[in-house]
Amino acid sequence: EDTFRLELDKYIQNLKINLDLEQKSLDTCVSPYLRSWFEDAICPIQRVVQLFQDKLAPLLHAALSYTPVEVKNASERTEKDISRFLAAASLQGLVQEGTMTSLCIAMTEEQHKSMVIDCSGPQPQLHNAGSNRFCEDWMQAFLNGTEGGNPFLFRQILENFKLKAIQDINNLKRFIRQAEMNHYALFKCYLFLKNCGSGDILLKIVKVEHAEMPEARNVVTVLEEFLRE
């Protein structure tokens, strides 16, 4: 299944480690490991959606913006599920590696604090959480998907969420290139950021990518001021 390629690659790597460790341990280690592949590799996204429900938007926001996340009082499985969800929802591999690194550094420096997820109650409590309209809308798509209960559907929704974010980033970059020459295009940039629902994150991403380009950087600075006002 192409959709879960990364999860399955990781799963097989761990399987190889188990096999290398002890050829004789097939019955005790490897067979149970193989039996649990579906639960471990395919179901985490669905479990996270069911656990967070209407608090899913801040988790999507943290994944997109590379905000550090700290999980407290969770079972080992829930903690793994959340970290798998964040990895699956992030734009890693879809935007330049250097951008990701710079974004992680920028977010860590800027916030001085992680988003904290406290799992001691029946539903997680979130502290220092951010969100935006884009993530709220996509959260609704996930919640609508819970009725069917198909784990593959959740992954498809997640892929569509990332695809839309990438399209928005590319559109914004195109508008910024036009705005370097033309004030009307600058206004178009501003309208796009206001209407796309994820202007806060998109602007951070392009700011990091355009750090070395003075014209684009000036456009980004003006847009930041517009959005603040």
Tell me how far CA of residue 110 lies from CA of 148, 212, 220, in angstroms.
40, 20, 17
- Token pair listed for 126: 């979130």
Q: How many CA atoms lie within 13 A of 162 on its CB side?
A: 19
Q: In what order do the strands lie in the sheet with 115-118?
A: 69-72, 115-118, 125-127
pLDDT of residue 23: 62
- Please provide the size of the chain in residues: 229
pLDDT category, 81, cuts 50, 70, 90?
Answer: very high
As a whole number of angstroms, the distance between CA 228 and CA 58 comes to 21
Q: pLDDT of 187-219, one tens digit each?
A: 999 999 999 999 999 998 888 888 778 888 889
Please check the confidence at residue 1 and state whether its pLDDT lies above 70: no
As a whole number of angstroms, the distance between CA 72 and CA 201 comes to 26
As a whole number of angstroms, the distance between CA 25 and CA 5 comes to 27
Question: What predicted TM-score, i.e. pTM, was given to this entire model?
Answer: 0.84
Mean of pLDDT values over 78-86: 96
**Rounded percentage of the chain residues whose pLDDT exceeds 90:** 56
pLDDT of residue 27: 66
Higher pLDDT, 171 or 148: 171
To the nearest 10 degrees (0 to 180), the angle between helices 199-209 and 97-111 is 120
- The ranges assigned to domains in the chain are 4-228
